[in-house]
Amino acid sequence: MSTASVPLPNWITYGLMPLLNLLMAFLISGLVVWSIGEDPVEALKLLIEGALGRGDAIGFTLFYTTSFIFTGLSVAVAFHAGLFNIGAEGQAYIGGLGAALVALSLDHYVPWYVTMPFAVIGAAIFGAAWAFIPAWLQARRGSHIVITTIMFNFIGAALMVYLLVNVFIVPGKMAPETRTFLPGGQLPKLDWLMAWFGLKLGPAPFNVSFLIALVMCFLVWLLIWRSKLGYEMRTLGISPSAAVYAGIPYSRTVIIAMLISGGLAGMMALNPVMGSSARLQVEFVGGAGFVGIAVSLMGRSHPVGIILAALLFGILYQGGADLSFEMPNITREMIVVIQGLVILFAGALEYMFRPAMVHLYQRLKRA
Amino acid sequence: MKKTLLTLIAMAALSTTALAADIKPALVYGTGGKFDKSFNEAAFHGAEQYKKETGTDFRDFEPTSDTQGEQAIRNFASKGFNPVVAVSFAWTSAMEKVAAEFPDTKFVIVDSVVKLPNVRSVVFKEEEGSYLVGVLAGMASKSGKVGFIGGMDIPLIRKFACGYAQGAKAANAKISVLQNMTGTTGAAWNDPVRGGELTKNQIDQGADVVYAAAGATGLGVLQTAADNKKLSIGVDSNQNHLHPGSVLTSMVKRVDLAVYNAYKDTAADKFTAGIQSNGVKEDGVAYALDDNNAKLVTPEMKAAVEKAKADIISGTVKVHDYMSDNTCPM
């Protein structure tokens, strides 16, 4: 009897198993830390404290979380339509161009809350536009979306470096970046939200785009599970031939799914570009697009799961940086190893404990 | 009375020694990573040198992103580290923010300018150093073609390329300079394989001296040039020892001195803010000559490069700085 088909209660599938996987990942990471001669318990303590111990630490964690929610949602939407969007990195990069153009042209004239909706739309349109060509190629020419989106990451990076070095750069400045946006082009920090919990945000760049991310989570849920388009996308994702047989237009659905996916990735740019550095910089995405794949995978492509997974990666990012700061022996490469182990156990090996769990569950039920 | 005076003197003496020893230096690298055998490693060596001489340990951090860089600088400052040295222009905006928050802490930024009363900005005239190695390349080349391989296509690297081209042309007016950039993402600073491929490509086109200004990517450039029995030029640190007999010279940029001096000046309470511009004259940039490349540099070449050096110092030769108008006359 195949154990994969045995139904388990939700609290085991969505609660206990991810927890077990996570525990396993931390256990192995602990061994790695121990093998280089550091105290794993102390390391874990530093990691948790660095991510959640103070107001500004939580602020940084949530700042990273915000980026990961956007890119996680982006990957998830495409995934529901059976498309593996590896291009969130490039779409977010180009989305930054959209957000920056809006901020640069409006920040002299209007306050931030007027700029914000335009920036959201600008970022989404630019991100979606970057996803359009791979989507069209997939839908009409059968070019595999994985390949084309990866290629578009590089084209996007080349385009952005060209624009930043030759067009947007402030003359005489060394760094290839745009001028600093005035307050009218910046998203304000969420000090008040932190104050509700009696925490001080300090210098952490936790900003309004977090709220935009939460709204997007709700909208994605609405789209995927409560709309006709979402139904079509899911059908296409499960079986393209059945979807076509049922009269769902293949090309149109693929392109729309990718446009939404690209738009969500593009919006990620709001967080670092307008919420934190207040300027468009080279390489501002910093791998968040790729982390989005892991987040979506771990979050089972469900908005709630994505929020939790994004939070986990936010903790790993912020706590990891703090850990390598406090324990210089643990280099940044070690942090990548720990993150990799979490992805491996919690994302890729999700069914490792399932057979054992099923046996245990059935035995307990019989008893 | 006498006793109090003595105690006072003793206390004063104690406190000055305490001042001299009592610095907690910190160092924040660029995103290329500490051991890139080039720019960041030079900074590391400067700090190590200071540690060796004074016994004062330092703390360092390798950020992976812009946000982390700012966090690291702020963390060091808030934990009482002083001076905080950040190498790489990438930390310009971070430094502007953090240095304003901690007016009592001394900061140093390398490769960029931050105008604040507690920040020393150390910049280098890379075009002058590159000009010198360009002169050597122009004279060493038999094919009349020399190569340049940059990391990312950013103004700083164009500055290197432009100075190099001017030097090569000064040595040989008919020389042609092949130029390639490694990539468009941060990975371009750490991609020796791509660096090697580009070098192979330039060698196939006829280049017989290749200058790498690409961080750790340059290791691949030097390796490939050595494998193909061609000459290469290292950057930032003295890389002559990596492939003795193949590395023609290195354009040494004294990032190590910038770090070392920052620590030393703070310890001696002689820290000065403002812009420090280091060119050939200040020995901030130079071409490297040691046992490893002594055979490659002929007396004739040496005379020519020394003349170029003297001319730059005296002002007879003015090397055009790409950054001044974002164009290169070559």
Q: What is the pLDDT of residue B14?
A: 45
Q: What is the pLDDT of residue B9?
A: 52
Q: Average pLDDT, stretch A347-351?
A: 72
Mean pLDDT of chain B: 89
Nearest to A165 among B65, B93, B155 (CB): B155
Q: What is the pLDDT of residue B21?
A: 52
Taken in order of first residue, the domains within chain B and their CATH numbers are 2-125+256-278 (3.40.50.2300), 127-253+285-325 (3.40.50.2300)
Q: Closest Cα of chain B to A165: distance in Å?
A: 6
Q: Average pLDDT, stretch A157-177?
A: 87
The tens digit of pLDDT for each residue in A153-163 reads 999 999 999 99
**Beta carbons of B112 and A276 less than 8 Å apart:** no
Percent of chain A with pLDDT over 90: 66
Decide if B143 touches A, using CB distance below 8 A: no
Q: Average pLDDT, stretch B301-309?
A: 94
Nearest to A281 among B66, B97, B113 (CB): B66
Nearest to B89 among A63, A175, A284 (CB): A175
A332 neighbourhood in chain B, CB within 8 Å: 33, 62-64
CA distance B227 to B249: 17
CA distance A10 to A20: 15
Q: What is the pLDDT of residue A358?
A: 86
Residues counted in chain B: 330
Give the residue on A whose Cα is nearest the Cα of B183: A158
pTM recorded for the entire structure: 0.85
Interface of A with B (CB under 8 A): 60, 63-64, 154, 157-158, 160-162, 165, 169, 171-177, 180, 203, 205, 272, 276-277, 279, 281-284, 286-287, 321, 324-325, 328, 331-332
SS3 letters across chain A: CCHHHCCCCHHHHHHHHHHHHHHHHHHHHHHHHHHCCCCHHHHHHHHHHHHHCCHHHHHHHHHHHHHHHHHHHHHHHHHHCCCCCCCHHHHHHHHHHHHHHHHHHHCCCCCHHHHHHHHHHHHHHHHHHHHHHHHHHHHHHCCCHHHHHHHHHHHHHHHHHHHHHHHHCCCCCCCCECCCCCHHHCCCECHHHHHHCCCCCCCCCCECHHHHHHHHHHHHHHHHHHCHHHHHHHHHHHCHHHHHHCCCCHHHHHHHHHHHHHHHHHHCCHHHHHHHHCCCECCCCCCHHHHHHHHHHHCCCCHHHHHHHHHHHHHHHHHHHHHHHHCCCCCHHHHHHHHHHHHHHHHHCCCCCHHHHHHHHHHHHHC
Domain residue spans in chain A?
56-298
The tens digit of pLDDT for each residue in A6-64 reads 778 888 877 788 888 888 888 999 998 999 888 999 999 999 999 999 888 999 999 99
A64 neighbourhood in chain B, CB within 8 Å: 67
Does residue A359 surpass a pLDDT of 90?
Answer: no
B183 neighbourhood in chain A, CB within 8 Å: 157
A165 neighbourhood in chain B, CB within 8 Å: 153-155
B87 neighbourhood in chain A, CB within 8 Å: none
Q: What is the pLDDT of residue B106?
A: 93
Q: What is the pLDDT of residue B187?
A: 79
Per the model's pLDDT, the better-predicted residue between A345 and A265 turns out to be: A265
Does residue B138 surpass a pLDDT of 50?
Answer: yes
Q: Average pLDDT, stretch A290-295?
A: 92
Q: What is the pLDDT of residue B13?
A: 46
Q: What is the pLDDT of residue A5?
A: 64
Across A162-187, b (16+ Cβ under 10 Å) vs e yields ebbbeebbeeeebbbbbbebbebbbb
Q: What is the pLDDT of residue B16?
A: 44
Q: What is the pLDDT of residue A4?
A: 57
Confidence of residue B18 (pLDDT cuts 50, 70, 90): very low
| CATH number for domain A56-298, candidates 1.10.3470, 1.10.287, 3.90.1690, 2.60.40 | 1.10.3470
Does residue A355 surpass a pLDDT of 90?
Answer: no
Q: What is the pLDDT of residue B15?
A: 45
Confidence of residue B19 (pLDDT cuts 50, 70, 90): very low
Per the model's pLDDT, the better-predicted residue between A211 and A8 turns out to be: A211
**Beta carbons of B153 and A161 less than 8 Å apart:** yes
Nearest to B75 among A175, A325, A331 (CB): A325
Does residue B4 surpass a pLDDT of 80?
Answer: no
The tens digit of pLDDT for each residue in B152-206 reads 888 889 999 999 999 999 999 999 999 999 988 777 888 899 999 999 999 999 9
Decide if B67 touches A, using CB distance below 8 A: yes
Does residue B17 surpass a pLDDT of 90?
Answer: no
**Beta carbons of A321 and B153 less than 8 Å apart:** no
Q: Average pLDDT, stretch A289-296?
A: 92
Q: What is the pLDDT of residue B7?
A: 54
The tens digit of pLDDT for each residue in B39-65 reads 899 999 999 999 999 988 999 998 887
Contact (CB, 8 A) for B209 and B232: yes
Among A167, A290, A332, the strongest candidate for a mutation testing the B interface, having the largest count of B CBs within 10 A, is A332
Nearest to A161 among B152, B323, B326 (CB): B152
**Beta carbons of B64 and A282 less than 8 Å apart:** no
| ipTM surpasses cut 0.95 | no
**Beta carbons of A272 and B74 less than 8 Å apart:** no
Q: What is the pLDDT of residue B326?
A: 80
Mean pLDDT of chain A: 91
Confidence of residue A1 (pLDDT cuts 50, 70, 90): very low
